[in-house]
Amino acid sequence: MDLQETEQELLFRAEARSWLSENVPVGLPSGDTAEGFAAHLEWERQLHAARWAAVSWPDAYGGRDASVWQWLAFEEEYYRAGGPQRVTQNGIFLLAPTLFAFGTQEQKDTLLPRMAAAQDLWCQGWSEPGAGSDLASLTSRADKVDGGWRLNGQKTWTTRGAFCTHLFGLFRSDPSSARHHGLTYLLVPLSSPGVTVRGFARLDGDEGFAEVFFDDVFVPDSAVLGGVGEGWSVAMATTGSERGLTLRSPGRYSATVSRLLELPGAASAPERIAQAWMDAEAYRLFTLQQVSNEQAGRGRQGESSLTKLFWSELDIRLHELALDLLGPEAELEGPWSKGFQFALSGPIYAGTNEVQKNIVAERLLGLPRK
Amino acid sequence: MFFGLTDQATAFRAGLRDVLPTACTPATIRAAWDGDPCESMWKTLGAYGVLGLIVPESAGGLGLDALSLVAAMEECGYHGVPGPLVETVVIAPRLGLALDGSARVAISDARQPVVPYAAVATHVFDADLGQLLDDVTASPVSTVDGTRQAARVTGTPNGEPVTDLGSTWRLAMLCTSAFLLGLARRQVDMTVSYLKERRQFGVPIGTFQGLKHPLADAVVGTEFAWPVVLQAAHSVAREAPDARRRVAHAKAAASDAAYQVSRVCLQAHGAIGYTVEYDLHLFMKRTWALVADWGSASDHRMTIAKELLG
């Protein structure tokens, strides 16, 4: 056990804290409306200019070569300072790790700097009207043509699809294949002829969702990430990031608990307040343990599913407590009611919690699938 | 940065994993239910060093730290080692008692109506006076978990009072937290084996999501309680200012998680678990006893709340 931050880690944290305290914007509108998204882009570009947009990336792509520990410290400071949600997160935290693992040199050199600078804005094209939890049943097609692929089909529940410029998605490239075979991971500019994007409102009324239609959309061979037909394993690498800590660093919940403590009624619910603090701390400590184990080569199958089950339920409990403390004011539109509605998406997206529980039961505990 | 057990703790636990499966079997636990003091098991624990684990080598102990201690207690919990284990581990060294298993100390506390383990202990320590009791008379009281061997106790205080017991009780809470997570791990293991083996409707019942999902939820609880116990051990080892809050967190989290595991594991076993012939109840009933011992989850949450809310 060694919980002491090194000199270098302390300096990094101090630099982040000082920059964030002077620069974090106050009161940005929701990033899930067209005008709010634009306001967020300004902030994203400001982060990038100061090289805080993607600290764990190599210097060459606009990062700071930060270790996981430094990244965790940055996230903690970011949310402590009241930093807003990251509208670039699907690119920076989901696609980028996949690009680093599977991308060609050219793909990395072309895509990563524009992603970090919030010039290209990426959304995830996985779910389809008929393929949600059962992602492997997807039917959007990529047919081989001269020099590339022709795409047809539909993606949906695409987060911030209406405001993004690019989509990474899974397409069936081998029409004779079934399930997780014969899928290819493709990188698609949404400006391509034949793409139609229709935004629609999420639970909270903001236009945070979109459906994306592909009608004979052409993408070149260079749009393939990983190998042709390898889409499933490439995509699974991204699910680890999505469920795991890169999407939900502990700093978020610690910051939420600090805000809870400031609510006027906090003292009236001492045990629930204590439980909120305990749960956020447990998440932070579990994360430290998880990172330590991974660095020691002792990561476990199914661990990101444990994580996802915990943070998604934690987020809801924290907001439920806040709404209870607010009493009659809970029904007003505001940060807590908004946050509550957002938290409710946690057990649904990134693989429903029911799917995660199957993974825990089968891969971690060894119960039979069938 | 490294968050986890030290190599030393892992090695000590690995050794215990060789010793305990024979030193403490379900038959041992059942004997303890019948009032057997389990002397040979205690001798083994003493010989292996569990009872003097954090006692300096100069005083006849192993000189290990609280991280090794929680690893050992978790393992003892897994095997359902009958008490007074935690009590002896925390108080015997302070009283200069033998650490070879020949001394087993029950602790009496004015807030508790009866003294757990008083009927099988060799000594009774009065926590309020800070003294051992002489001329002890113990009137046994039956308890839900038979290994508790509780009694109403009278006796005459004797010897120089031990003062400054706060950190000793924190250590007991910490050890109990780790022990609870060991009990929980045992119940989960028993349940997983049973769910693979038991067939209904023509298939192993472990294929049913109706059983997988509650078990997965319960395991999330224990998985997230373990690092909390480790952090508490780390704070205790360094005598850090946050030790009180960290230990309260550990006991509350471990109690809630282990209790939830006991509920789910009983339900998953169905009627076979609802018997005393099957071993599950040995671990479940100890869980109930320890959930309430050394402060309930609710008590510990209030400790934390007072610090947070000022």
What are the boundaries of each domain within chain A? 7-87, 122-230, 244-364
Strands B131-140 and B123-126, bridge-based pairing? antiparallel
Distance, CA of B58 to chain centre: 27
Residues B143-150 have a mean pLDDT of 98
Which residue range forms the structural domain that includes residue B67?
Answer: 7-158
pLDDT, tens only, B216-232 = 999 999 999 999 999 99
What is the C-alpha to C-alpha distance for residues B25 and B43, in angstroms, rounded to an integer?
15
CATH of residue B133's domain is: 1.10.540.10
Count of domains observed in chain B: 2
- B105, B76: one domain: yes
Q: Which residue has the tokens 């339920």?
A: A313
Give, as one character, the DSSP assignment of residue A128.
Answer: B
CATH architecture of the domain with residue range A7-87: Orthogonal Bundle (1.10)
Predicted complex ipTM: 0.97
pLDDT above 90 as % of chain B: 98
Active site residue A242: yes
Whether the Cβ atoms of residue A158 and residue A209 lie closer than 8 Å to each other = yes
User: Above 90 in pLDDT, residue B189?
Assistant: yes
Q: Is A275 on the interface with B (CB under 8 A)?
A: yes
- B153, B206: one domain: no
Give, in order, the Cα–Cα distances in Å from A109 to each of A96, A114, A317: 12, 9, 42
Answer yes or no: do B207 and A357 touch at CB < 8 A: no
Q: In this structure, is residue B1 part of a structural domain? A: no
pLDDT, tens only, B52-111 = 999 999 999 999 999 999 999 999 999 999 999 999 999 999 999 999 999 999 999 988
pLDDT at A243: 61
Q: What are phi and psi of B224, to 5 degrees?
A: -85, -10
Q: Which of B158, B189, B224 is the last residue of a domain?
A: B158
- B240, B117: one domain: no
- Chosen for mutation from B213, B217, B224 (greatest number of chain A CBs closer than 10 Å) is B224
**Cβ-nearest to A282 among B2, B217, B227:** B227
- B120, B178: one domain: no
Enumerate residue ranges in chain A where pLDDT < 50: none
Rounded mean pLDDT of chain B? 97
pLDDT, tens only, A26-43 = 889 989 888 999 999 999
Catalytic residue among A44, A207, A242, A303: A242
Query: Quick count: other Cβ atoms within 10 Å of Cβ A197?
Result: 17
What is the fold, at CATH topology level, of the domain defined by A122-230? Butyryl-CoA Dehydrogenase, subunit A; domain 2 (2.40.110)
- B146, B269: one domain: no
- Chosen for mutation from A133, A278, A298, A353 (greatest number of chain B CBs closer than 10 Å) is A278
Residue B171 is which amino acid? L
Residues B29-51 have a mean pLDDT of 97
Residue B211 is which amino acid? L
Task: Provide Rg for chain B, Cα atoms.
Answer: 19
Residues B173-183 have a mean pLDDT of 98
Q: In this structure, is residue B2 part of a structural domain? A: no
- Cβ under 8 Å to B: A residues 22-81: 69
Q: Around B203, how many Cα atoms within 13 Å sit in the side-chain half-sphere? A: 9
- B203, B105: one domain: no
- pTM to 2 decimal places: 0.96
Residue B101 is which amino acid? G
Cis omega (within 30 of 0) on the bond before B84? yes
pLDDT at A247: 65
What is the fold, at CATH topology level, of the domain defined by A244-364? Butyryl-CoA Dehydrogenase, subunit A; domain 3 (1.20.140)
What is the C-alpha to C-alpha distance for residues A284 and B228, in angstroms, rounded to an integer?
9
Give, as one character, the DSSP assignment of residue A91.
Answer: I
pLDDT, tens only, B247-281 = 999 999 999 999 999 999 999 999 999 999 999 99
Strand (E) or helix (H) holding A45: helix A34-49
- B68, B138: one domain: yes
Residues B282-292 have a mean pLDDT of 98
Residues B187-194 have a mean pLDDT of 98
pLDDT at A305: 93
- B184, B152: one domain: no
pLDDT at A241: 60
Q: Name B168's Cβ contacts closer than 8 Å, sequence gap at least 6.
A: B90, B91, B94
pLDDT at A370: 84
- B55, B185: one domain: no
- B153, B177: one domain: no
Query: First vs last Cα of chain A: how many Å apart?
Result: 40
